[in-house]
Each structure stands twice: as C-alpha cells, then as structure tokens.
A and B are shown apart, each in its own frame.
Chain A
Amino acid sequence: QQQVKQSPQSLIVQKGGIPIINCAYENTAFDYFPWYQQFPGKGPALLIAIRPDVSEKKEGRFTISFNKSAKQFSLHIMDSQPGDSATYFCAASIQDFGNEKLTFGTGTRLTIIP
C-alpha cells in the first residue's frame, strides 16, 4: 500500500520551463515532508523540506507548495536547467520517540532538454 503517491513517473521539460511534481499522502499524522534528488550513480540527497504549518517554502529555484486540507504537496523548479535532470522523490514522515522513518513516493525521472 503506497502511503505517498507521486506523479508523474517521468517528465520532460525544455530548459527554462517550470517542471511540477506532485505528491499526495493519506496519513494525516505525517508532519514533515522532504524532497530528495538523485543523480545517476549516486544516492539520493536532501533538496528541500517543509512542515505542514506553512503553505510554501522556497530555496533558490526550488519551491514546495503544501496544501494541508487536500493532503497534497508539490515541487516546482523555476528556470529549469539541464543540470536539474535527475530523479526526484517526495517523502513524508512521523517522528516516533525521536526516531524518524521516511515513507518515499515512487519517484519522478525529470529530463531538462536544452
């Protein structure tokens, strides 16, 4: 059972465009929502994260939008560049007695074409 649903599975955008990756969750106890970026041959690395008490968080060209009532959150990449081509994973977590487990989405393979 997939607790975090991610779409699309793959996405091709021209340089300068704004790719948008969407995630939806079911468990209302989730209270932390990070995004991880993975380049080929590498492990995922934290990109940006949001808590549900804010509706938007921006770091450089990357923005998370969060809609608590709809249980959805999305990643937007402004002025996308070929170097942004990677697989992106959304995730959600609940902190349990100081130990945290992440539940990941299925991933989106993003390709930015010049």
Chain B
Amino acid sequence: DVKVTQSSRYLVKRTGEKVFLECVQDMDHENMFWYRQDPGLGLRLIYFSYDVKMKEKGDIPEGYSVSREKKERFSLILESASTNQTSMYLCASSFSEGRETQYFGPGTRLLVL
C-alpha cells in the first residue's frame, strides 16, 4: 500500500515565523507535489518536484519555497508565515510514467495567528 505521510496534522504558528512542512512517501515515486486546499477554491498547486533537487513552480508559489534533498522527502517552507497562508496543505506523490495516480497524504491544517 502506498503511504504518504505528513509531519503534522495540525500546526499553529505566529505571523513572521518560519514554518517547515515535511512529506515522506514510501513508494519510490519520482514526482512529489504540494497543494493547498481552501473552501471554494479547491486544490491549488504550490510547487512540484520530478526528481531529487529539482523543483518547479505551480500556480501559487509566492511566499513558499521547497526542498527535495532525498527522493522520498519533500519539504514545504514558509519563510515568513502570514495570516493568508492559513490553510490545509496536502502533499502528493506519483510515478512519472504515463497517466499516474497521485497519492495524497492526510494533510496539515496550518493556522497562522
């Protein structure tokens, strides 16, 4: 069974703090993704990575950065958290061949005060 785990289910941070969200997958997937989910807006892609040390901007990369030092691990970094980054953050992974299913983690609900 594919497993995508995220480091925290809930996080509360203060404005201006640096925030790290970590994602680990155990299926040797090449591709990894970070989305945010907001009511009425669906899932929006922040960043994705198709290989170690590679990253590509998604649709809403502003205010975020990512790091992929190992194939199984993909980190999302909020350099200086702001209240408008309060959201549910979802990590996903997939193989890179053909039309591959994306497997999602359970999400991290982040509240920035």
Interface, chain A (partner B; CB < 8 A):
6, 9, 32, 34, 41-46, 49, 51, 89, 93, 95, 98-107
Contacts and interface: CB of A to CB of B under 8 A. Distances in A.
Nearest to B96: A98
A43 B50 contact: no
A45 to B, nearest CB: 7
Interface residues of B, number: 29
Given A98-B96, A99-B31, A101-B58, A43 B42 contact: no
Contacts of B45: 101-103
Nearest to B35: A104
Contacts, number: 60
Contacts of B104: 43-45
Interface of B: 4, 31, 35, 40-45, 48, 50, 56, 58-59, 90, 92, 94, 96-107
Nearest to B105: A43
Interface of A is mostly: strand
A43 B4 contact: yes
Contacts of B106: 41-43
Given A46-B102, A102-B102, A89 B42 contact: yes
A100 B99 contact: yes
A98 B97 CA distance: 6
Contacts of B48: 99, 101
A4 B17 CA distance: 34
A104 B42 contact: yes
A95 B103 CA distance: 17
A95 B95 CA distance: 13
Contacts of A51: 99
Residue with the greatest number of chain B CB neighbours at <10 A, chosen from A45, A49, A99, A107: A99
Interface centre among A6, A51, A95 (most CB of B within 10 A): A95
Contact of B99 (A32, A101, A104, A106): A32
